[in-house]
């Protein structure tokens, strides 16, 4: 692969994924847990993640970019690739950094795969809360080491134990001390027996995240609830590839549910410096959803709307962020409507919708009609400010 044409500014990729290496837990677990932690076994000829005899899922490559650099279709990549088939940069931090240099990206924000995009899969697989917490902490420690060894070019978001508010507070403080620049939490902790995020019981977490400048991230598909929708979006007679495309499209818009619930909960009034990021959801739906929310609240919930310090739509510009990567046709208008300080660039490497193999060439085409000053913000400056780079 040839080196891409460099951007005239520092590029920060706000959404990528790091495939979990097979010895992530076995190499780090204390002796008392060594035989219990997630590990990879051959199950009927397929490499599977197994924990205490229970299969968690395929130990796949976590993406669609082959070891040879070729991008394959989603079915092959997601359901056939192993870690030996996937691009080495999907799991090897040193190769990832070299790949980033080759395509002109300075830093990347990292999200998980096997434990769930918001950590929800580990909760579903492990009934014991204390053991579950140990596994998340091993994961977070591993990722913090990757950040340190990369010189803060690879930026994992600490995954929180969302089944317990107090445990989330403690883990947010712990990962912040490790240098982590943000936290990642499921949008539906009630799936795991905790209060939903509109409950004031979560104020202890928002207080810590606000005080420690830890933005809170909500990745699409980051809860048991939202992933249960995924299979129901397509009509049953659709072809398999079309089903994946339909599910993926509606997962983007599904984060509208997160945005409107956060805004109407009142938490942003109580914590005006708290930052919220809607990850891998695109930006084009945001102007409509915010305009609709303004209308609906004042039409149907005027008493609750009166208790908010701002119009619902105004909170997004003050405290919220979204990402963009494939949007092109209306991007200048989207930026004007959402806010040039509220959008960050992403590539989604190495997932099916990633901008491989030349993300900056795609970005240049997408951003025709946007000034270089605003491009600089979207491509890097907004993320640099948010993640303290």
Provide the residue ranges of all domains of the chain, joining segments of one domain with +.
12-19+88-386
- Is residue 222 within 8 Å of 184, Cβ to Cβ? yes
Quote the CA–CA distance of 38 and 83 in Å, as a whole number: 16
Quote the CA–CA distance of 258 and 239 in Å, as a whole number: 29
What is the end-to-end Cα distance of the chain in Å, rounded?
28
In the beta sheet, which residues pair with residue 276? 216, 320
Q: How many helices (H) and strands (E) does the chain have?
A: 16, 12
- Is residue 338 within 8 Å of 286, Cβ to Cβ? yes
- Residue 2 has a pLDDT of 42
Does the model's pTM come out above 0.75?
Answer: yes
Q: What is the pLDDT along the chain (389 residues), one digit of tens a residue?
A: 344 677 888 999 999 999 999 999 999 999 999 999 999 999 999 999 999 989 999 999 999 999 999 999 998 998 999 999 999 999 999 999 999 999 999 999 999 999 999 999 988 889 999 999 999 999 999 999 999 999 999 999 999 999 999 999 999 999 999 999 999 999 999 999 999 999 999 999 999 999 999 999 999 998 888 887 777 889 999 999 899 899 889 989 999 999 999 999 999 999 999 999 999 999 999 999 999 999 999 999 999 999 999 999 999 999 999 999 999 999 999 999 999 999 999 999 999 999 999 999 999 999 999 999 999 999 999 999 999 99
- Is residue 118 within 8 Å of 111, Cβ to Cβ? no
Quote the CA–CA distance of 308 and 314 in Å, as a whole number: 11
CA distances from 298 to 47, 86, 178, 312 (A): 53, 50, 44, 10
R_g (Cα) of the chain, nearest Å: 20
HSE-CB of 318 using CA atoms within 13 angstroms: 15
- Residue 4 has a pLDDT of 62
- Residue 7 has a pLDDT of 80
Quote the CA–CA distance of 160 and 276 in Å, as a whole number: 15
Quote the CA–CA distance of 335 and 366 in Å, as a whole number: 12
3-class secondary structure, 175: helix
- Residue 8 has a pLDDT of 83
- Residue 109 has a pLDDT of 98
Measured over the CA atoms of residue 354, residue 279, residue 227 and residue 115, the dihedral's sign is: positive
Pairing, β 46-51 against β 39-43: antiparallel
C-beta neighbour count of 1 within 10 angstroms? 10
Fold that domain 12-19+88-386 belongs to in CATH: TIM Barrel (3.20.20)
- Is residue 119 within 8 Å of 191, Cβ to Cβ? no
- Is residue 250 within 8 Å of 238, Cβ to Cβ? no
- Is residue 59 within 8 Å of 48, Cβ to Cβ? yes
Quote the CA–CA distance of 87 and 133 in Å, as a whole number: 30
């Amino acid at each position: 692969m040839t080196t891409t044409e460099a951007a005239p500014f520092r590029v920060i990729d706000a959404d990528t994924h790091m495939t979990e290496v097979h010895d992530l837990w076995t190499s780090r677990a204390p002796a008392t847990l060594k035989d219990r932690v997630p590990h990879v076994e051959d199950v009927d000829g397929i490499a599977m993640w197994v924990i205490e005899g229970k299969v968690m899922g395929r130990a796949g490559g976590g993406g669609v970019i082959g070891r040879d650099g070729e991008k394959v279709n989603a079915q092959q990549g997601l359901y056939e690739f192993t870690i030996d088939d996937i691009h080495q940069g999907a799991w090897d931090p040193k190769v990832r950094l070299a790949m980033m240099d080759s395509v002109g990206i300075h830093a990347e924000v990292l999200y998980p795969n096997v434990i769930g995009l918001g950590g929800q899969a580990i909760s579903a697989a492990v009934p014991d809360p204390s053991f579950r917490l140990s596994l998340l902490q091993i994961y977070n420690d591993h990722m913090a080491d990757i950040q340190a060894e990369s010189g803060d070019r690879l930026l994992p978001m600490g995954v929180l134990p969302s089944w317990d508010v107090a445990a989330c507070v403690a883990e947010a403080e712990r990962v912040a001390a490790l240098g982590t620049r943000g936290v990642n939490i499921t949008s539906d902790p009630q799936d795991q027996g905790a209060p939903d995020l509109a409950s004031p019981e979560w104020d202890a977490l928002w207080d810590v995240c606000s005080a420690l400048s830890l933005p809170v991230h909500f990745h699409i598909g980051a809860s048991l609830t939202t992933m249960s929708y995924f299979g129901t979006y397509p009509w049953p007679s659709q072809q398999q590839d079309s089903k994946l495309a339909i599910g993926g499209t509606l997962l983007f818009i599904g984060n509208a549910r997160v945005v409107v619930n956060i805004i109407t909960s009142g938490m942003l009034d109580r914590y005006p410096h708290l930052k919220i990021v809607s990850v891998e959801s695109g930006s084009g739906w945001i102007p409509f959803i915010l305009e609709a929310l303004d209308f609906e609240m004042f039409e149907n919930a005027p008493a609750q709307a009166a208790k908010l310090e701002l119009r619902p739509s105004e909170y997004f510009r003050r405290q919220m962020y979204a990402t963009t990567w494939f949007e092109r046709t209306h991007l200048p208008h989207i930026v004007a409507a959402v806010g040039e300080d509220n959008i960050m660039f992403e590539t989604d490497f190495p997932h099916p919708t990633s901008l491989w193999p030349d993300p900056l060439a795609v970005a240049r085409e997408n951003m025709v009609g946007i000034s270089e000053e605003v491009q600089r913000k979207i491509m890097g400056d907004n993320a640099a400010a948010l993640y303290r780079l």
